Amino acid sequence: MKPEKVIEFLKITEKLKCNTRHSWTSTGRRESVAEHSFQLMVLAWSVKDEFPDIDIEKVMKMCLFHDFGEAITGDIPSFEKTTKDEKIEEEAVFKALEILPEEQRKELITLFEEMNDLNTKEAKLYKALDKMEAVIQHNEASLETWLPLEYELQFTYGEKETQEFSYTRELKDYVNKMTEKKIKGIE
């Protein structure tokens, strides 16, 4: 890729460091979209041995780029995001990808289509881990940052997505226990 295109692409992705999410860190500041993507990639790498039949490199690539559109649109919490918001974000992604050389653009378009379709094991695993990372991060934050609806959401968020694999079900159960302890003040 030509240096000017690399810099143009990085100018977009740099906004992932600037745009904050609804989540808070353990130190009491808003988490950036980039930090979420990084932690999600670490989570995927950490569980790779649990999924020997899955292309973890592809899952990690999904984790890296899954919130790319939020560089342009910003983050909208899942409990507020509408179908219209999702469409706007999707359009932003495809517009931003136009700056990439054809081969790289095709690679990412194919990846985004696979993530959206959720028909492959890789896409299903990335989605389950994405949901789990948000719940895990939420447990890292102070209860003072939680909205009233999040006490229930901690238990229901990602419940459906984690059912695909025995390991993600086990992880969800463990994180639910962490949430119970946090709410009871037994951290």
Q: Please write the tens of the pLDDT for every residue from 12-41.
A: 999 999 999 999 999 999 999 999 999 999
Residues 6+ away with beta carbon under 8 Å from 122: 54, 55, 58, 59, 62, 114
Mean per-residue pLDDT, 138-164: 95
Q: In sequence order, which ranges of 14-163 are alpha helices (DSSP H)?
A: 15-18, 33-46, 56-65, 70-73, 83-97, 102-117, 121-140, 150-156
Q: Does the structure show a pLDDT above 90 at 95?
A: no
Q: Does the structure show a pLDDT above 70 at 104?
A: yes
- Portion of the chain with pLDDT greater than 70, in percent: 99
Domain range enclosing 93: 3-184
Q: For residues 111 and 61, is the Cβ–Cβ distance under 8 A?
A: yes
Domain count along the chain: 1
79 band by pLDDT with thresholds 50, 70 and 90: confident
CATH number at residue 157: 1.10.3210.10
Q: Please write the tens of the pLDDT for every residue from 110-134.
A: 999 999 999 999 999 999 999 999 9
187 band by pLDDT with thresholds 50, 70 and 90: low
Task: Specify the pTM.
Answer: 0.94
Q: Does the structure show a pLDDT above 70 at 50?
A: yes
